[in-house]
């Protein structure tokens, strides 16, 4: 038997060369659920390796992880929670609001429905104030959208969850960087948020195009754009349905 991580011949439960488990199953619901109890207990040196690899070759690195080369990478749920928490802490430290917080608070303060409905207003406030957990809660929406957009390809919903968790975690680094640059440089530059948002979305496109390279760059670009549009439509539909159900 060959190790999926390093390619060495193995006979036991673990690879004697890299230490990865011999049995590496395809990512499914069981795999995702097994992450939850140890989310913050499995943060090791794989964090910096993962950050570096995802900035150099994001799509290829994600493909490696999905295909079984997992020993050197931090697990996806740990990754997105850790970096989203870091972004939220940085934003709070410099008295800034996260992008998600700004959008949600805008809905809570500007929408007549939210103002007249204390439950909806409370939910939106919680989402805005708990960026890391809210980010994870939104991952299924992103995953459903990318699954539909790339339905011709082999990855299941849970693998798309992993894809989007890694991308979202990396985007949190981009947001954190610009918040820190603006704060440390004491520069009130109006376009910083626009630049960081554009780069984070651009990163997602780069990752998807590289991951689905066999589909062709233009095809992958259009499918990624479709995934973004679908995601916003699905989230909006859930908000509307939730409001209607609550009113009834």
Q: Summarize pLDDT for 119-160 with one digit per residue, the tens.
A: 556 666 656 566 666 788 889 999 999 999 998 888 999 999
Alpha carbon of residue 107 to chain centroid: 22
The predicted model gives 20-34 an average pLDDT of 83
State the Cα–Cα distance between residues 85 and 88, nearest whole angstrom: 5
State the Cα–Cα distance between residues 217 and 151, nearest whole angstrom: 16
Specify the residue for token string 């590289």: 210
Q: 104 near 127, Cβ under 8 Å?
A: yes
List the structure tokens of 107: 């809905």
Q: What is the CB-side half-sphere exposure of residue 122 using CA atoms within 13 A?
A: 3
State the Cα–Cα distance between residues 80 and 78, nearest whole angstrom: 6
Q: Read off the pLDDT band of 215 (50, 70, 90).
A: confident
Statement: the pTM of the whole predicted model exceeds 0.95: no
Q: What is the pLDDT of residues 36-64, one digit of tens each?
A: 766 655 555 688 999 999 999 999 999 99
Residues 6+ apart with CB under 8 A from 235: 138, 141
State the Cα–Cα distance between residues 213 and 67, nearest whole angstrom: 15
Q: What is the pLDDT of residues 164-208, one digit of tens each?
A: 999 999 999 998 888 888 777 666 656 777 888 889 999 999 999
Supply the DSSP symbol for 23: -
Specify the residue for token string 């919903």: 157
Domain extents in the chain: 29-247
Residue count of the chain, please give it.
Answer: 248
State the Cα–Cα distance between residues 108 and 106, nearest whole angstrom: 5
Alpha carbon of residue 87 to chain centroid: 13
| Percentage with pLDDT > 70 across the chain | 73
Q: What is the pLDDT of residues 82-109, one digit of tens each?
A: 898 888 888 777 666 665 555 555 554 5
Q: Read off the pLDDT band of 238 (50, 70, 90).
A: confident
Quote the radius of gyration of the chain (alpha carbons, Å): 19
State the Cα–Cα distance between residues 123 and 116, nearest whole angstrom: 13
CA neighbor of 57 nearest in space, from 206, 200, 232, 244: 206
State the Cα–Cα distance between residues 114 and 169, nearest whole angstrom: 29
State the Cα–Cα distance between residues 84 and 171, nearest whole angstrom: 9
């Amino acid at each position: 038997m060959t190790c999926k991580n390093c390619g060495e011949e193995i006979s036991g439960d673990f690879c004697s060369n890299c230490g990865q488990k011999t049995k590496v199953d395809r990512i499914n619901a069981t795999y995702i659920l097994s992450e939850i109890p140890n989310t913050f207990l499995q943060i090791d040196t794989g964090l910096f390796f993962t950050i570096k690899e995802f900035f150099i070759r994001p799509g290829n690195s994600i493909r490696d992880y999905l295909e079984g080369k997992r020993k050197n990478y931090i697990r996806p749920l740990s990754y997105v929670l850790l970096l989203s928490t870091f972004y939220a802490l940085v934003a709070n430290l410099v008295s800034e609001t996260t992008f998600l917080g700004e959008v949600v608070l805008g809905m809570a303060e500007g929408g007549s429905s939210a103002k007249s409905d204390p439950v909806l207003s409370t939910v939106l406030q919680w989402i805005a104030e708990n960026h890391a957990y809210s980010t994870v809660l939104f991952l299924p929406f992103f995953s459903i959208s990318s699954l539909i957009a790339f339905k011709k390809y082999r990855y299941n919903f849970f693998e798309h969850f992993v894809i989007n968790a890694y991308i979202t975690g990396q985007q949190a680094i981009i947001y954190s960087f610009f918040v820190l640059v603006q704060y440390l440089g004491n520069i009130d530059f109006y376009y910083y948020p626009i630049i960081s948002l554009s780069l984070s979305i651009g990163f997602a496109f780069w990752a998807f195009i590289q991951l689905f390279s066999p589909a062709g760059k233009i095809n992958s670009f259009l499918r990624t754009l479709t995934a973004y549009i679908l995601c916003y439509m699905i989230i909006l539909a859930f908000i509307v349905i939730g409001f209607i159900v609550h009113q009834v």
